[in-house]
Amino acid sequence: MNNPLRHGWRLLTISTTLRRYRLDQLVNISSWFRPLIWLIPGRRDNRSLARGQRLRLALQELGPVFVKFGQVLSTRRDLLPSDIADELAKLQDAVAPFPGTQARAIIEAELQQDIDDVFLNFEEQPLASASIAQVHAAELKDGKSVVVKVVRPAIEQSISRDVALLKTLARLAQRYHPEGRRIRPVDVVQEFETYIFDELDMQREAANASLLRRYHQNSRDVYIPEVYWSYCKQRVLVMERVYGIPIKDKPALVKHGVNLERLAIRCVRLFYTQVFRDNLFHADMHPGNILVAKDNPDDPQVIALDFGIVASLSNKDLYYIGENFLAIFSQQYRRVAELHVEAGWVPADTRLDEMEASIRTVCESSFTRPLSEISFGEMLMKLFQAARRFKLTIQPQLIMLQKTLLNIEGLGRDLYPDLDLWAVAKPELESIVRSKRSPVATFKAIRKRLPLLLERTPDMPELIHRTLKKAAAGELTTQLQHPALEQLPENLRQLRRSITGGVLAGSLLICGTVLLVHPVGPDIFDLPILSLASWLGAVVAFLTTR
């Protein structure tokens, strides 16, 4: 998929879409680049549409990867104007559906039997349609109401194409951007690729749902629908159909008498429980994926949907994130700086006093506000921004954690604006940490590892003897290895290609500009063909410098 011509054509398609929907008016395009947008062929229509609608339609047209991007943006109402956030929220469950006959064909191909032999009733009109799949109501032969989730046809090719383009752009950014190695765009794209391709596998989603259901069995906080494994394949998922009020429909919640304060607190507590107690959290908890049970409005239960993105952290990441949270809660800024060094997120030679001062500046400005206005997720974002001057290395594996925290906090505040996130989160995390570090928990951890330790114990005396014998004979050697040394020849070859490609791209760029001012030959879209060809050649030359 790393075809430069294909990438160049896709970039042209994206640029044309930007121009057609007039999105150059919504983003801060550099003054030198803005004229180039208008050199791209394409009609200047859609002027009468609202700006949010134009953005939503453009993202839908560009495909699943861009729809996912819009979904992430829709959860950041603290950063977006309300009209744009409202339109992008429609991407969560209002993407144009594909025909029900196609869904029926996919189900029959996956289950290898006629759909009427599986379901007593199957509704071809979907209940909801998203960027990756759409959901249909059905009834099993035993009368159980279910939903059938079907992956969109031919979506793999579309996603692979755009992810390949993102990878190319990420490699260029990592090589040429001054902070590319610290930001690690290649790792970020790879992390995104993992998550989005995981969403295409319905059996993985079924496993995620089953495990979360086991962790929250009989929970008053959250309900996870049952999975019917007999009907789950790679492109088809069949789950229990659940009923409730969409959590984004605040007027309906109020009308039903739902206690919004308790609901908001429950959502925030659920995040900390899933991350720090279970180390398995629903990483796509936007409002379109949450219902509220109707049976007990004064003590409302959350119903979670869509388990395509479920994440966990390594024990090391979980420890350092938890300790950072606790240190910030307790306003121990020196400890936060020390944890960043211990975790390897900043270099070991970082001046702790300077970093402590930067952290204090960020946190104290937040603590001066009323507790009900403090967002822990926003504070973490500001902390990472402040740590950039200390060469903070971005941790791609923590991106989903940060995104989920911001989603949940935004959801809680939207439900109950006076929610004191600090009062909810601090005791919840402290309770979980105390429980995990209790003597009982320590004993259980030792007991779990004891069989392996006992199995290895008989070999220890011999290993110690061999090591001491080699040391006495002067046979112990130390071998130094570093990935950068192994990559040095390849880096030099890439540098040569970059210089050659850069010179060629620059030459074609100048050539295209000259031909634009002094046109030669036939035109297309009122622009010289040779000028457009030079511009496209510059793009291809630039992309091939990998």
Task: Name, in order, each residue with C-beta under 8 angstroms of 31's C-beta and a sequence gap of 6 or more.
Answer: none
Higher pLDDT, 198 or 537: 198
CB atoms within 10 A of CB 40: 20
Report the chain's terminal Cα–Cα distance, integer Å.
14
Rounded distance, CA 240 to CA 246, Å?
17
Whether 482 has a pLDDT exceeding 60, the answer reads: no
- The answer to whether residues 260 and 135 belong to one domain is yes
- Mean pLDDT confidence for 448-459: 71
- The answer to whether residues 323 and 302 belong to one domain is no
Q: Where are the alpha helices (DSSP H) in 282-398?
A: 315-329, 333-342, 352-367, 376-386
Whether 37 has a pLDDT exceeding 90, the answer reads: no
- Mean pLDDT confidence for 106-135: 91
- The answer to whether residues 116 and 253 belong to one domain is yes
Mean pLDDT of the chain: 77
Answer with the one of 311, 344, 366 that is the final residue of a domain.
311
Task: Name, in order, each residue with C-beta under 8 angstroms of 273's C-beta and a sequence gap of 6 or more.
Answer: 221, 428, 432
Higher pLDDT, 541 or 344: 344
- The answer to whether residues 224 and 250 belong to one domain is yes
- Model pLDDT for residues 70-114, shown as the tens digit of each residue: 766 665 554 567 777 777 777 765 567 889 999 999 999 999 999
- The answer to whether residues 168 and 291 belong to one domain is no
Predicted pLDDT at 312: 85
- Mean pLDDT confidence for 164-187: 69
The pair of three-digit structure tokens given for residue 453, joined into one six-digit string: 């330790």
- Mean pLDDT confidence for 300-304: 94
Query: Is 412 part of a structural domain of the chain?
Result: yes
Q: Which of 374, 358, 347, 308 is nearest to 155 (CA)?
A: 308
Task: Name, in order, each residue with C-beta under 8 angstroms of 140's C-beta and a sequence gap of 6 or more.
Answer: 118, 119, 120, 146, 228
Q: Which residues are catalytic?
A: 284
- Model pLDDT for residues 417-426, shown as the tens digit of each residue: 888 877 888 8
- The answer to whether residues 400 and 280 belong to one domain is no
Rounded distance, CA 501 to CA 503, Å?
5
- The answer to whether residues 269 and 335 belong to one domain is no
- The answer to whether residues 353 and 407 belong to one domain is yes
Of the listed ranges 158-167, 186-195, 522-531, the one predicted with least confidence: 522-531
**To the nearest whole percent, how much of the chain has pLDDT over 70?**
69
Higher pLDDT, 407 or 360: 360
The pair of three-digit structure tokens given for residue 306, joined into one six-digit string: 């869509």
- The answer to whether residues 275 and 373 belong to one domain is no
Answer with the one of 65, 92, 119 that is the final residue of a domain.
92
Whether 225 has a pLDDT exceeding 80, the answer reads: yes
Give the burial class of 307: count Cβ atoms within 10 A of its Cβ; 0-12 exposed, 13-18 middle, 19 or more buried.
buried
- The answer to whether residues 75 and 35 belong to one domain is yes
Residue the block writes with tokens 């540098």 = 495
Query: Is 385 part of a structural domain of the chain?
Result: yes
Residue the block writes with tokens 């979907």 = 126
Query: Is 472 part of a structural domain of the chain?
Result: no
Higher pLDDT, 27 or 288: 288
Query: What is the number of structural domains in the chain?
Result: 6
Rounded distance, CA 285 to CA 271, Å?
9
3 state DSSP class of 442: helix
- Model pLDDT for residues 237-287, shown as the tens digit of each residue: 999 999 999 998 999 999 999 999 999 999 988 988 988 888 888 887 778
pTM for this entry: 0.68
Whether 2 has a pLDDT exceeding 60, the answer reads: no
Neighbouring-strand partners of residue 149: 135, 237
Rounded distance, CA 86 to CA 95, Å?
14
Query: Is 476 part of a structural domain of the chain?
Result: no
Rounded distance, CA 158 to CA 62, Å?
9
Query: Is 505 part of a structural domain of the chain?
Result: yes
- Model pLDDT for residues 368-396, shown as the tens digit of each residue: 666 566 677 777 777 777 777 787 776 66
- Mean pLDDT confidence for 202-227: 93
Residue the block writes with tokens 């579309």 = 158
Contact between residue 242 and residue 225 where contact means Cβ atoms under 8 Å apart: yes
CATH number of the domain that residue 256 is part of: 1.10.510.10
Predicted pLDDT at 33: 45
The one-letter amino acid code at 107 reads: I
Query: Is 348 part of a structural domain of the chain?
Result: yes
- The answer to whether residues 428 and 504 belong to one domain is no
Residue 11 belongs to what domain range? 4-92
Residue the block writes with tokens 């001491």 = 468
Answer with the one of 70, 92, 114 that is the final residue of a domain.
92
Rounded distance, CA 245 to CA 303, Å?
9
Query: Is 478 part of a structural domain of the chain?
Result: no
Whether 517 has a pLDDT exceeding 60, the answer reads: no
- The answer to whether residues 319 and 179 belong to one domain is no
Query: Is 420 part of a structural domain of the chain?
Result: yes
